Amino acid sequence: MAFSGALTLTDLNDFITPSQACIKPVEQTNKPEEKEPGAASTEIQVDSTGAYYEISASGAKPAGQPQPQKKLETAQISLNDCLACSGCITSAESVLITLQSHTEVLNFLSQNPPRSDSSHKVPVISIAPQSLASLAASISSTSSSAPVTLRRVLRRVQTFCKSVLGFEHAYDTTFARHISLLEHAQEFRERKAAGGTGSLPMLASACPGWVCYAEKTHSEMLPFISRTKSPQQVMGTLVKEWLGTQWGKTYVFV
């Protein structure tokens, strides 16, 4: 994958400042730059075409003589720099966020052909135990009865996903999490036995955003990132390649 070169927002003097939610924040905002005594000062002007020019404001020039100016390049951020973090400042990234939203899932469920159709896809949703724990804590805090167990919350979520949203199957990712942890332990033993540069420490995360951030901003960390699939990826493999065969479906229809 080709990234957008050595583009770093903190090295640019741009007028558009990304929001605080952006993964590439500007370290200093509205802070005057410290200058040495006698240093030259500059200002930026915009012409009728929208081009930006840096003009030196130091030193007096004879009347009628134009100030020396330098045309500034436009800073660009490609989709290769985007993590869909909602801190975008252009319309292109907002399209990427839309394609990963819950609206896209609901659109797929509503447009999915019926089961009698050969092009019907089996919609499956997987739920992390952390999400179930958060729901259980929220329900228990607003209920005067006994605390709600994770199993009970899972059954409620499964009923909602299948009877209301239209999913055919809803699973907990705990089993996939156990498989992922065992594979992580095996990979660590292999790395420790192999030794050498780039083996240890081994970094791992179940968050795809963390891995994406490391790939795009800290390439030096890539040799240390675990190659083992996350629980979410393991669950996807189990559903598409194993359960799919039990349902008589190829992985593209699950």
- pLDDT, averaged across the chain: 74
For position 46, what pLDDT does the model report? 73
* Alpha-helical regions (H) of 4-149: 91-99, 102-111, 129-141
* Banded pLDDT at 182 (limits 50, 70, 90): very high
Residues 23, 213: contact at Cβ < 8 Å?
yes
Can you give the pTM of this predicted structure?
0.55
pLDDT in tens, 183-220: 999 999 988 888 776 678 888 888 777 887 887 778 88
Looking at residue 192, its pLDDT comes to 87
CB 54 within 8 A of CB 46: no
Selected residue with higher pLDDT from 178 and 2: 178
Task: Answer yes or no: CATH 3.40.950.10 is held by domain 175-232.
Answer: yes
pLDDT of 76-114, one tens digit each? 656 666 666 555 544 455 555 666 678 888 888 888 888
Q: How far is CA 5 from CA 2, 77, 81, in A?
A: 8, 10, 10
Instruction: Report which of residues 225 and 2 the model is more confident about.
Output: 225
Residue ranges covered by each domain of the chain: 82-111, 122-172, 175-232
SS3 188: helix
Confidence at residue 14, expressed as pLDDT on a 0 to 100 scale? 38
32 pLDDT higher than 60: no
- On whether the CB atoms of residues 22 and 34 are closer than 8 A, the answer is no
- Note the helical H segments in the chain: 91-99, 102-111, 129-141, 150-160, 174-194, 208-217, 231-237, 244-246
Find the range with the poorest average confidence among 14-23, 154-163, 186-195. Answer: 14-23
Query: Biggest alpha carbon distance in the chain?
Result: 86
Q: Which of 51-65, 103-117, 136-150, 158-172 has the highest mean pLDDT?
A: 158-172
Omega before 201 within 30 of 0, i.e. cis: yes
Radius of gyration of the chain (CA): 27
